[in-house]
Structure 1
């Protein structure tokens, strides 16, 4: 709790109610695990275009793009959302991913006119089917005219419609004090402050991989189904050759799938098919209407939906049924 009356989540609360909120109403949270970087300089567009999977050159001011930083072999370094401004590029990314991503960028930054600044801006996410209605009631008039993947300026910063967890949602970028005031206004308008685990449950239910959670150092972007962050029509960029080969030849041997468990199982559990390990649980949660579910990158021998695996973990073992993504309620 702070002086404005805003509280970022409900400590000790059951995950069931926050998940129902995100399925029926609106919830919000300041995403402390995210950070905001600003890129300026005459060469910023050309440089970032060649360093990521997003079509930066084709983007127009006012747009938001999902993107990936990849190695030469298309292994995932980090993911981000790019907010395109007239005079700069704003990169919203994971706080733990950024040090490696920055090192990767600076390795290629030689004579380019590009400046990289770590800003003090924070990120507030508003999720749920009533998110747009609540944002409007909270007095953020700029949100009303925004379509998906578009942003607008607000007195305190920026607001954009960013479906970061797979459903229509709004993100605000501003200083923390300003976002805490927005949080109080959202609460007065009927939204609920939620914990990180509720957003994690929403992510898993929508079948979206989290970089660093569902991916490892050698995970290829397509193995994690990160296609929404890849432009398949842009020119050359770091990692493109591997992406093109895997797309053209269908050569993937591992891929992200959903799992439906007979009971809860912790991440890290080994997944066995006929006694042979075909993957490990990387994310797991319980979600209304779906029950105990999870994600795993599986060997191609286990890709058929309906395949029954055995999950062996520290908290015991259980059956795990392979599901296509996104999950359905059957």
Structure 2
């Protein structure tokens, strides 16, 4: 990855380590890059995210038993978001899975790779025909983010996969390089996730930026993550919360059979037992994550993330369901705020009101 990092430094990147891997923290252009992701097209280096490959004849059955979404319904070329949870349905990580002909590729959060590798290995039994490999150091991943992603993909010789479902993926040739192109940017913004051998990473990055993609660093990604509402490990995804509280209904199948944590999640859905929910929040003054949220004298929740944007401070917070939802006015530490909906989160099954 040395060539990739040198290209990024030459473009103004400040590198730092996340989960023991080097990543551009900023290119010194955060406002421009965030605006490009929202209005044009940006490219974000996600090589520090974990890539875990599951192969073997029992791989689909194994994953069906280990996480919340329905792998039995997926054909090669399809993908989905899924959540790994404990036996009591507490959240370990939100993962994107891509089903290939002979294996499944999992894109996992940077600070969850080692924990998930250990977790997955723990549930392989002697009779299971399952092989787990860590591909993080041999595979690179970039996200194209923004409404002009289709145009840029086509300009490099690719197929924009117009109208395809999120997670749909295939191998394509972009700028004379073999790249797996998947629908979805990782946020609630249009775009693609691109996976390829690390030996070709620098050449693809150069092609993407030359074609007009604005480089986006980790600081910009974090701002967009919070604005969009994607929950992150150690912030919104912890063993204090379950996937329904975290607004990840789209990543949960309620019709599949038994899996780790299934009974608890089914009870929560059947008996409307979601006692707290994740919301966006607009803040009037700076306040630290972890601050208590109140309505009057009553404690109703906790702030989990906060970021500055050109239009003010925004954050994510868990709020007791009975306290209210969108447009609720709250006190957060010494600040005040108002709850807002954010596009990444889902709060019910499709078709429900």
When normalised by structure 1's length, the TM-score is 0.90
Q: Does 1:34 align with 2:55?
A: no
| Distance across 2 between alignment mates of 1:146 and 1:112 | 37
3-state secondary structure, aligned to 1:178: helix
Q: Which residue of 1 aligns with 2:205?
A: 183
Of 93-102 and 42-51, more deviation after overlay is shown by 93-102
Indicate how the Cα distance of structure 1 residues 146 and 309 shifts in structure 2: closer, same or farther if over 3 A, else same: closer
Q: Which residue of 2 aligns with 1:194?
A: 216
Q: Which residue of 2 aligns with 1:325?
A: 342
| Distance across 2 between alignment mates of 1:130 and 1:100 | 36
3-state secondary structure, aligned to 1:221: coil
Of 243-252 and 265-274, more deviation after overlay is shown by 265-274
Q: Which residue of 1 aligns with 2:330?
A: 309
- Which of 308, 312, 317 aligns to 1:296? It is 317
Q: Does 1:69 align with 2:54?
A: no
| Distance across 2 between alignment mates of 1:13 and 1:284 | 20
Q: Which residue of 2 aligns with 1:83?
A: 98
Q: Tell me by how many angstroms 1:3 deviates.
A: 5.2
Q: Tell me by how many angstroms 1:76 deviates.
A: 0.7
Q: Deviations over 1:236-287 (max 9, x none)?
A: 1111111111111111211111111113333222222223332221111233
Q: Deviations over 1:153-205 (max 9, x none)?
A: 13434111124211221111113342221111111111110111222222222
Q: Which residue of 1 aligns with 2:232?
A: 210
| Distance across 2 between alignment mates of 1:258 and 1:145 | 30
Q: Deviations over 1:126-177 (max 9, x none)?
A: 101111211222x141445672321111343411112421122111111334
Indicate how the Cα distance of structure 1 residues 276 and 125 shifts in structure 2: closer, same or farther if over 3 A, else same: same
Indicate how the Cα distance of structure 1 residues 318 and 151 shifts in structure 2: closer, same or farther if over 3 A, else same: same
Indicate how the Cα distance of structure 1 residues 278 and 42 shifts in structure 2: closer, same or farther if over 3 A, else same: same
Structure 1: state its 5+ residue gaps: none
Indicate how the Cα distance of structure 1 residues 38 and 228 shifts in structure 2: closer, same or farther if over 3 A, else same: same
Q: Which residue of 2 aligns with 1:151?
A: 169
The equivalences for 1:250-261 within 5 A come to 250-261=272-283
Q: Which residue of 2 aligns with 1:115?
A: 131
| Distance across 1 between alignment mates of 2:273 and 2:163 | 39
Q: Tell me by how many angstroms 1:216 deviates.
A: 2.0
Q: Which residue of 2 aligns with 1:233?
A: 255
Q: Tell me by how many angstroms 1:301 deviates.
A: 4.0
When normalised by structure 2's length, the TM-score is 0.84
Q: Does 1:2 align with 2:20?
A: no
Structure 2: state its 5+ residue gaps: 14-23, 345-353
3-state secondary structure, aligned to 2:63: helix
Q: Does 1:135 align with 2:153?
A: yes
Indicate how the Cα distance of structure 1 residues 237 and 311 shifts in structure 2: closer, same or farther if over 3 A, else same: same
| Distance across 1 between alignment mates of 2:326 and 2:267 | 26
Q: Which residue of 2 aligns with 1:281?
A: 303
